[in-house]
Amino acid sequence: NDVLDFSRIENGKLQLSIQPFSLPALLYDLYDLFANEAAQKSLIFSLYAEPFEEERFNGDALHLKQICVNLLSNAFKFTGEHGHVSLTVRKLTARGRTNVLEFTVSDTGIGISPDGLTRIFNMFEQESSTVTHRYGGSGLGLSITKAIFQQHGFRFGVQSTLGKGTTFWFIATDTK
Ligand code: ADP
């Protein structure tokens, strides 16, 4: 699936579809997708969203979901039993008719070295050969995620401490 997606992105065939969507529905979907895995690994999986006045935002719900699924899949993959994975959505500002939502995916997993952080968004790159050996994977998920961020013009970033955990964030702007 990753490889298919990437060829579509590279060929410029990634269609953006900006429409009203329900933020709670998106969060419930994500909860459903990961609740079993959380239970199996005895992980705490927290979803936090501020009580927004509105439930509907404008955006590409499919792409937002794909981004969150990619980030959460990694968070679950790289966090051992009894760890903690969370997804938080905050509304930063509402300037005029523009909503600015900050999504944060945090985990208490293996973390990423400073050198790894410079490479993980590149195609086929993983943090280290130890990671490749132990966890498998294609090294494509984050390059797809980055391509989606860039197509939408979302700012994004990552902070990590080896052995402690990782936080990915991105800021989605919604123009009504
Ligand atoms: P894959 O997960 O298939 O290896 P990705 O592109 O999704 O590929 O991620 C690239 C690399 O970034 C991973 O192999 C891993 O080394 C590192 N990484 C990504 N997310 C995390 C995370 N939450 N915790 C630790 N390492 C991570």
The SS3 of residue 90 is strand
Instruction: Give the number of other Cβ atoms within 10 Å of residue 110's Cβ.
Output: 21
- Bridge partners, 168 (sequence order): 105, 158
Q: What is the pLDDT of residue 174?
A: 78
Nearest CA owner, ligand 1 atom 23: 75
* Exposure class string for 111-125: b at 16+ Cβ within 10 A, else e: bbeeebbeebbeeee
Ligand 1 centroid to residue 32 C-alpha, Å = 22
- Reading the chain (176 residues) residue by residue, the pLDDT tens digits are 555 566 767 666 677 889 999 999 999 999 999 999 999 999 999 999 987 777 788 999 999 999 999 999 999 999 999 999 999 999 887 666 678 899 999 999 999 999 999 999 987 778 888 888 888 887 788 998 999 999 899 999 999 999 999 999 999 987 65
Ligand 1 centroid to residue 95 C-alpha, Å = 34
Ligand 1 centroid to residue 157 C-alpha, Å = 14
Which residues, judged by CB distance below 6 Å to any ligand atom, belong to the binding site of ligand 1? 74-75, 78, 107, 109-112, 120, 126-127, 131, 137-143, 166
Nearest atom of ligand 1 to the alpha carbon of 125: 10
Contacts 24+ apart (CB under 8 A), 126-135: 135/77, 135/78
- The one-letter code for the residue type at 97 is R
